[in-house]
Amino acid sequence: MMLTRQHKWFLGLAALVLLLLLFSETPNRQSATETGGSDSVASMPSPTPAFYDEKALVAEDRAAGIAQVESAADADTSEARVIKQAEIDLLVSSTPDTQVALADLAKRLGGFVRDASTYERIDKVLYGQAVLRIPVASFEATLSDIRALGLRVQSERVTGTDVTEQFADLEAQLRNARAEEQAYLALLGRAGSVGDLLQVQRELSNVRGRIEHMEGRKTYLENQTDLATITVSLSEKPSLIAPTSDFRFVDTIKEALQTLVVAFQEIVRGAVWIVVLGIGIALPAGLIAWGIYRLYKHSRR
């Protein structure tokens, strides 16, 4: 069969189209294969850890939090912390005047009088006590000024308790607890289920409770070390007091006789009670003894 020119032209065109199709399909297959591979990888579940690989998450966030807090603290150079206290017993000419002078002294130095009391003895002599809180920098100067207010220092005792290590340890615990709090706050945003959320909230509440306790302890130590405590006991010289009323000899005798009569009445009243009670106890006892004796004699017959 002889092919015409038209047939040859048609076959050549068909072969050219076929070649074009083959060359265009090969890169499409490759790209499809690559795309399909990436989609299959993306569709695979990623090996995410369970929410409560909590120790690892908290440790990671806590370490980051501690680093941030410590860098913000500028390498924390803690100063010496000493609780200073003193007890001083003064003999004074006037307790009320000395109380006023102590209050003025404390106010001038930037402190205050925490407690103050004044009492009167039977001989009309006054005594009292004042407790001063003074800035620790003025501790020695204040003691010197207090001594000058009295006639004589009868006793004095000064003590100091070093709490520097305790204070530094408390600050370190606070930094760690605050970093732990930040870690749990970060976990709060990652919580998936209600159970996870409640567990993180419980841990967060426990951490915040510890933080509040440590902050209260730190505030107490700061107060005790920033202000010294000085307890001042005051007493006046004993004195002889003149009688407040005229002495009447006759009236004194009458009072003594009246007291004697009252005493005699009490003695008689006591004797009557003894006799009555004795009879009341002896009579039944005697009747019981007599009855036992009669039974004994009757049984002998």
Q: What is the DSSP string of 161-210?
A: EE-HHHHHHHHHHHHHHHHHHHHHHHHHHH--SHHHHHHHHHHHHHHHHH
Residue 128 belongs to some domain of the structure: yes
CB-CB contact of 226 with 136 (8 Å): yes
Please check the confidence at residue 190 and state whether its pLDDT lies above 50. Answer: yes
pLDDT tens digits, one per residue of 153-184: 999 999 999 998 988 999 999 999 999 989 88
Q: What is the pLDDT of residue 67?
A: 46
Residue 32 belongs to some domain of the structure: no
Q: Per the confidence metrics, is the pTM higher than 0.85? A: no
Dist CA 91 CA 241 (whole Å) = 19
Q: How many structural domains comprise the chain?
A: 1
Residue 183 belongs to some domain of the structure: no
Mean pLDDT computed over every residue of the chain: 77
Please check the confidence at residue 1 and state whether its pLDDT lies above 90. Answer: no
Q: List CB contacts of 127: < 8 A, sequence separation 6 or more.
A: 95, 118, 119, 121, 233, 234, 235, 236
What CATH code is carried by the domain that includes residue 157? 3.30.70
Residue 218 belongs to some domain of the structure: no
- Structural domain span for residue 95: 84-161
Query: Which pair of tokens denotes residue 246?
Result: 């005229």
Dist CA 194 CA 241 (whole Å) = 83
Greatest mean pLDDT among 42-51, 174-183, 191-200 lies in: 174-183
CB-CB contact of 158 with 143 (8 Å): yes
Residue 116 belongs to some domain of the structure: yes
Mean pLDDT score, 98-116: 93
Residue 144 belongs to some domain of the structure: yes
Residue 139 belongs to some domain of the structure: yes
